[in-house]
Amino acid sequence: MIEFKIDVKGDRALLARLDGLPDEVQAKLRPVIGALTTRLLESVRAAEPTRTGTLRSVTRASVVSGKDYIRGRIRISARPGSKNGAHNVAAAALEYGVHSAFTVRLRGRRMTIYTRRVSISARRFLRDPFARMKPIAEAAIARVLSEKLEP
């Protein structure tokens, strides 16, 4: 969050300019955030595992804005027909890794119980591209803000 405070007594022109500043800043920042988000989406898709292509097909980018924010997002939605609601458990397992064991029970003519071990190393296809993009994004946003806030 960027905060600034200016104490001015009797200067209505400056106050009027500061009241309109958030709209002007948003208008300047929106295309910059959009371009950065698109660039990040390309980096994420390039880093995603591609065995079946399903992960790439559910990876989306969006730019959302409100009264006092603009947000670029990269989201991996749930696979169509998934029972996990809005979460993509497979994507989370690939991003963060899984090292676990669970019991499997098969029922047929006789009940079979065994332990299945899962070991997936973290791929970091979301966090690494973001970490590489962060200084570039900060510099681009600071450049726009410094142009807008100069008298």
Strand partners, 62: 73
The two three-digit tokens of residue 46, written as one number: 């390039």
Q: With 90 as the cut, is the pLDDT of residue 14 above it?
A: no
Q: With 80 as the cut, is the pLDDT of residue 50 above it?
A: yes
Place of tokens 């890794």: 97
Contact 24, 13 (CB under 8 A): no
- Overall average pLDDT of the 18-26 stretch: 68
Contact 126, 40 (CB under 8 A): no
The residues spanned by each domain of the chain are 12-149
Q: With 90 as the cut, is the pLDDT of residue 113 above it?
A: no
3-state secondary structure at position 77: coil
pLDDT computed for residue 31 by the predictor:
93
Contact 85, 78 (CB under 8 A): yes
Place of tokens 């690494």: 128
Kindly report whether the global pTM for this prediction surpasses the value 0.75: no
pLDDT computed for residue 4 by the predictor:
44
- Overall average pLDDT of the 13-24 stretch: 58
pLDDT single digits (tens) 53-83: 888 888 999 998 887 788 898 988 887 776 6
